[in-house]
């Protein structure tokens, strides 16, 4: 079980390592939204302000038979630790809009995002890792969780 968890943690996210100021990073993710449980896709475009700080636009789309949940968020992402380290913690925060179909009583609300994860630097253009995001979207729903288990970030 421990080996399976380590393998999953290694394969869980692809992200960009050691970017330079002014670079653009493109990416996308696949995972789950919990509360309700939905299949999630999350495309993202990031601008590198500093090698360890990016600003981005993030879209999260959750799909299920009973409805759709959609968020559009401006985010700030920071990567901590030594730039030469292979494994680095990441944190993300953002503000935007959340929209939903028949899943919720209201169809539009404010979206506040807080997330944390780990990146594994694969090479100078690609890293692997995972991210867990807490999403607050009043009046849609007080809180839901998104877990992009497989993300891809790469230098454009």
pLDDT tens, position by position, 131-152:
999 999 887 777 889 998 877 7
Average pLDDT on 10-29 reads 67
* Domain 2-155 class in CATH: mainly beta
Domain boundaries of the chain, sorted by first residue = 2-155
**pTM for the whole structure:** 0.80
pLDDT value, residue 14: 45
CA distances from 137 to 35, 42, 104, 111, 141 (A): 12, 17, 11, 4, 5
pLDDT per residue over 32-83, tens digit each? 888 778 888 899 999 999 988 999 999 999 887 777 888 999 999 998 988 7
């Amino acid at each position: 079980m421990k080996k399976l968890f380590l393998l999953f943690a290694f394969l869980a996210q692809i992200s960009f390592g050691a970017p330079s100021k002014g670079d653009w990073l493109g990416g996308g993710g696949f995972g789950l939204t919990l509360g309700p449980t939905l299949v999630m896709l999350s495309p993202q475009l990031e601008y590198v302000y500093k090698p360890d700080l990016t600003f981005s636009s993030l879209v999260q789309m959750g799909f299920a038979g009973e409805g759709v949940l959609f968020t559009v968020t401006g985010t700030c992402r920071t990567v901590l630790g030594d730039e030469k380290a292979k494994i680095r913690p990441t944190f993300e925060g953002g503000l935007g809009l959340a929209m939903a179909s028949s899943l919720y009583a209201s169809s539009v609300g404010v979206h506040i995002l807080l997330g944390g994860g780990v990146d594994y630097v694969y090479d100078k253009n690609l890293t692997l890792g995972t991210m867990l995001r807490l999403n607050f979207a009043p009046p849609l729903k007080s809180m839901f969780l998104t877990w992009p288990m497989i993300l891809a970030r790469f230098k454009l």
